[in-house]
Structure 1
């Protein structure tokens, strides 16, 4: 469908069509590093900016209105800034400047989303009381105990909201679905089966939409903290060179003469198995090169100032990491997502709170067995019992 044909659609269907193109990207079904994925993301981002301008020109949202004055279909469009912030956060992979600019645009969109929720007072008294007791959006508590409590509280609230939203929506999506799936369920499908009027009132849809906004608000506070952390790291990164130095033809001639008089094998003729054994033992000295062959002359000349009189075998970083991975020396996982994820003990504690269910009873039994095993281990192994070499 061309751009002109899309803009001729009613605004709800145009928004739904844009979210359909973003859904495989938000679900991580498409790799972000692929140029086709980035092109699809850029096209959807431009459509979101166009939808945002259309909402502004139509005057859908106003500072003089209240939440009760908005129709159900108008309420759905409050999610546009959040989707725009998530889309911008997934772009900017062309280098440090592009990434920093994308993160700043994402931060602006998320703050516009929070400002819109605050203007219309979307949250009730309970949500406002909970928000006032927590830290500001994007702020990370310095105390580890407070960070752990905030993480558990956010996880518990998001899980409860997803279950409520799944039960309230007509098509009943899975609670583990992407938040974009919940937003898409609030809009008419491509065939126009749902009404495209922005004034039609549906109580169930309105309650589900408010719960979706609450879920997106909870996700935004976490995302803003991660964005601020990444911007802080990128601001301290070294600047990228704009252009490489001019190549000196004398250097290439010297390399040709060296290759003629050296009798050993060329660096790239050795296989990784000839340099490192299966047990990780180095069989002969070698040099680790960067993964890219497009090295600047300045870096190459600097590495050859104090080189050996003979040519050493070489192995790229990619080949070295492949050998280490084959021997099981690379630990996978970790990162910010692993840090934010609840631990096994925290998940058992949350599941054990579901009284009267089989899953809750099973989780409580696992938690009791784990505690009993740890207590038995501490009784059998007193503190300091293994310190036989360095008593003191």
Structure 2
């Protein structure tokens, strides 16, 4: 049963938890060990608050929100703050993070069930709650598969709703009736608006939580990679960031070169001796020429790969001691002289005289 006279221990633990939560919101380093310890301590305090709330039956399913004392309304947000802190818990890998997100989901659900029992999940959040209960793991504020325009409009609507709630809270807190705690109606309205903001933030957190869980599910697990690597090889692999790493990866694998049946298991190079291999260490990385330019041209000429032309062919030198050759050259010269005498220059130009 709700009462404004809750035990002092409950109030003290709640205020301590709230103080730690506010300190974490302004923490400069969310990755330090001290931050993780502070989050764990705050979560433990909120857990203690929830135990005390249950022990004293501060909230009852048989009453409406109008039956809850104004001083008890802030305790409605205990589950929400605990869920936020659990979701903010630092993690060291996908598996621990998955467990953390599931704990956060359970805490958010307890908060939603409590405030829904008091009729505090008003439109449009009642529709979101119905969709969440139908498919908790597939829930998104904007349904998956919506058009890009719908996604954009959903984000704009979310931003505007959050801005309207924060502006309303700021406006109410600026009221003198709240500052002096003299106007119970204003104080009550502030607490109920804080609950509405918590409902709004819960659905945003569940949307984000589901997206993160999907990413974790799609990420490769550590079992997908071979585990039999020595620490020495792993250290060398991590430190090796040079451009020649792909080449070295294929030439320095280690292990047997051939299988038992003689099949090559990795590329290798045959050398004459270890001395040849050692001398090759200091050779240039590129291939050196295996012949000179003159040797190359001679080989191409022999293969007929070089066309030699554009100049008069060399005149054949007749051996003076070869009388047959001398006679052949003499007859050839006489025949050429007779041909020129019988066919004077220009005699063949009978159709196109100049």
1:373-392 superposed matches below 5 A: none
1:38-57 per-residue CA deviation (whole Å, 9 max, x = no partner) reads: 01111111111111111111
Show the counterpart of 1:20.
19
Query: Contact (CA 8 Å) 1:81, 1:113: kept in 2 or not?
Result: yes
Gap change, CA 1:32 and 1:129, over 3 Å in 2: closer
Do residues 215 (structure 1) and 197 (structure 2) align?
Answer: yes
Distance 1:201 1:76 in 2: 16
Gap change, CA 1:133 and 1:36, over 3 Å in 2: closer
Distance 1:97 1:202 in 2: 47
Distance 1:215 1:307 in 2: 68
1:1-150 superposed matches below 5 A: 10-27=9-26, 29-123=27-121, 127-128=122-123, 131-132=126-127, 136-137=131-132, 138-139=139-140, 140-141=142-143, 142-143=145-146, 144-150=148-154
Query: Contact (CA 8 Å) 1:78, 1:116: kept in 2 or not?
Result: yes
Partner SS state of residue 64, structure 1: coil
Distance 2:204 2:268 in 1: 50
Gap change, CA 1:107 and 1:310, over 3 Å in 2: farther
Over alpha carbons, which structure has the higher Rg? 2
Distance 1:20 1:14 in 2: 10
1:204-235 per-residue CA deviation (whole Å, 9 max, x = no partner) reads: 11100111111111111111011011111112
Gap change, CA 1:20 and 1:229, over 3 Å in 2: same
Query: Contact (CA 8 Å) 1:25, 1:31: kept in 2 or not?
Result: no
Distance 1:214 1:51 in 2: 21
Distance 1:63 1:134 in 2: 19
Give the CA deviation at 1:146: 2.1
Query: Contact (CA 8 Å) 1:72, 1:201: kept in 2 or not?
Result: no
Give the CA deviation at 1:11: 2.1
Gap change, CA 1:130 and 1:224, over 3 Å in 2: closer
Distance 1:23 1:160 in 2: 22
Give the CA deviation at 1:9: 5.8
Q: Which structure has the higher relative contact order (CA within 8 Å, separation 6+)?
A: 1
Gap change, CA 1:135 and 1:9, over 3 Å in 2: closer
Give the CA deviation at 1:93: 0.6
Structure 2: unaligned runs, 5 residues or longer: 1-6, 133-138, 247-252, 256-265, 270-279, 283-354
Distance 1:54 1:95 in 2: 33
Do residues 161 (structure 1) and 165 (structure 2) align?
Answer: yes
Distance 1:111 1:78 in 2: 13
Distance 2:254 2:69 in 1: 68
Q: How many residues align?
A: 238
Show the counterpart of 1:230.
212
Query: Contact (CA 8 Å) 1:89, 1:102: kept in 2 or not?
Result: yes
Partner SS state of residue 220, structure 2: coil
Give the CA deviation at 1:169: 1.9
Gap change, CA 1:232 and 1:307, over 3 Å in 2: farther
Give the CA deviation at 1:19: 1.9
Give the CA deviation at 1:69: 0.8
User: RMSD value over aligned CA atoms?
Assistant: 4.1
Distance 2:8 2:268 in 1: 67
Give the CA deviation at 1:245: 4.1
Distance 2:221 2:128 in 1: 40
Query: Contact (CA 8 Å) 2:31, 2:90: kept in 1 or not?
Result: no
1:89-142 per-residue CA deviation (whole Å, 9 max, x = no partner) reads: 11151212210010000011111111111100025xxx3366438983442322
